[in-house]
Structure 1
Amino acid sequence: MSPNSSTAPDPGPAPVRAMLVLGTRPEAIKLAPVARAMAASPHFEPLVVTTGQHREMLQQMLELLNVQAKFELDVMRERQELSKLTARLVDRLGEVVRAERPDLVIVQGDTTSALTGALAAFYEHVPVAHVEAGLRTGVADNPFPEELNRRLIGRIARRHFAPTPRAAGHLIAEGVPAGEVFVTGNTVVDNLLWVLEQGVGRDQFESSGALRRLLVTLHRRENQGDTMRAMGKALRRLADRGDAEIVLPLHRSPAVREVLLPELSGHPGIRIVEPLGYADFSATLAGCDLVLTDSGGIQEEAPTLGKPALVLRTTTERPEAVEAGAARLVGTDPDVIMDATVRLLDDEAAYRRMAKAGNPFGDGHATARIVAQLARDFGVEAAAASTAVPSVTPRPGGAGSYSTA
């Protein structure tokens, strides 16, 4: 008998090798807390793969968020079609899955990188976990292509981490087994609170407290062209009032710049800045009074900080914020946008109601719930200590509030 055979400590189960796929800024923001938590645990080995859609922004952001990418794929081509991007991503991600043989692939949200990450894993018989699962507008091509992407991922994934009970209800109504659906809250809340605690961002507003501060983001494909041009005119009319400062981080898309720059450049009340890093954007969000946006993620971040959000879209996959009163879906008509914004600028009671509505998207413990559930799934019981957070129960009826039990 070897002298060490009876005394060597049991090394325990091997770490769970989890491949996290991300390609865009929102994916980095929402998967960073999961990657950090796994990197800090002896029970997980995170393998972060960046697909490169937002390559320049991602490199700086991941460094800020304390996330190390193991693989960086170079798949972007100028003005490439979605079909070509999708094919290239499935091919490259499949190569990584075959080479690394992870125990699990984790995707987030509804991007092309999320869909292709799920497909590549499915083709190699690797289970998929979907963070921010169950969001739906009910319109297959609005937003495009995100709505169809998330529905398809919902058919592939075996673990669905829904941000709200309503999202969980969508999945269960579509036939996903209830035992595969977990309401966690949204990791965007976890990460926003984390980065603000670091105190590394710089607020982009320059005005004193005498002016109301409006943060605006516009980029969606379905809003581009004449619709976005009309929204630009509405923003100029708002700036003409003289009682507000508008900060607009301008998206890099040529289709956005070609429309908005002619409408907004040169106005003293409108400050156009280049796309902000996550820390600066978070600080600017914290410093604003009101948000006008066609983004999805900002609808979750703004209520966390008590900032009323006017959603410049005709549909939203995040109706919880609207139902809670923290956001209002105003559409894309410039007159409606103008009226809704002016009301919040002029009616202090209406503003306070929205600002104090609360956040239906989480309590800052989503990451702990996700990692703890995966630890249970893979038998890494020692990691289950992280379950010391409130549990959340899916409600198939689709209630919109986030409640803990």
Structure 2
Amino acid sequence: MTAPGTAGDTRTATAAEESAPNRLLLPALALGAFSIGTDSLIISGLLNRIAADLTVSAATAGQLISVFALVYAIGAPVLATVTGMLDRKRLLLLALTVFVAANLLGAVAPDYPVLMASRVLAAVGAGLYLPCAMAVTVGVTPQHRRGRALAVVAGGMSAATALGVPLGTLIGALGDWRLTLVLVAVLATVAVGVLAVAVPRVPAPPRVTVGQRLRAAAHPQVLIALLANVLACAGEFTVMVYVAPLAEEVTGTGAAGISAFLLVSGCAALAGSAVGGRAADRFGGRTAYNGAVAVLLAGLAATVPLALAAPGGSRLTWVLFALVLCVIGVASWALPPAQNHLISGLDIPEPTVALSLNGSSSYLGLAVGGALGGLAMEHGSVTALTLAATGVELLALLTVVLAVTLTGRGGSAAR
């Protein structure tokens, strides 16, 4: 999944080049990203609990993730434009405050509509925070240290996948799913407190209009890259949003087992980020991205026979399911660095503006995958779920093959 936010809408102040950021700043920014990353996917591990508590189906509960992702995908570029001239520190604190309020509202939600409203509000906070956090990181970090600094902040999202989501799922399963949202709010509140002290004044970046973003997205090479990413992420999340009911059906596991599977998937995601970056540097962004999509397709295709014929509850099934989640985790998190490498190397006007759209394309894929998976669960079965995911990922692979055919193989990004 593409890391949300880029440095594309930023301009570094001269003074920022001369000093390293406050030691508390990057960990605090990463903690905010960790809380948002945990919040955006934690529902997937709690679907059955939420569905039972609010008297809705698991498929309906899954739309909480889809709506969050859709609001982020559409709202982040618009919000970045509307708030472009605001002081970055105030914007960070405002964004996390909105996010905290949204999770507290979700924790006390009496019914599904209120919980859905809280997810919309949380997505607004996330859409404000993540791009701004990346911008601040660039603005306070010297040129020669920016790569490492951005990796620290983006690492909050990866760590959320590896630790926050399975831990939150376990806490919600052993106690109450509402407690998980409270803990997310507490983490974000701590980040607010530290950021209030640690963030210096960072000048607002040059304003990038919605028109500029649309023109960047409309460039043929960018458009096909973003379309491929939407499809690749949609295929992944068709399964991963509903990984809890899928795991229950295939392996016969309970809440603790689901948390264990999510932990395996999260650790694989951390490895995937490293693999994707190294592969992009060595083979080029296009080759690395296409390879990751092909591996992701293989992993999703492997869920089909597991859903069809695996003997639920056997040790072999557990091992095979864990291995498949590892493959999916590595491949899906290899996509973001490869995609960023690919787009940054294209011979296009304003490549940094095009890069800023990556996060939205990933979250749009999450929204599409969650909706498609919900339809499969509502009108079919977990087998239909795995077949739908595989079909969408096949479309993603065909799209990247088409991209190679149309754009050729010139340049490092196109290799």
TM above 0.5, yes or no, is no
More strand by share: 1
Which gives a bigger RCO, structure 1 or 2 (Cα 8 Å, sep 6+)? 2
Structure 2 length as normaliser, TM-score? 0.28
More helix by share: 2
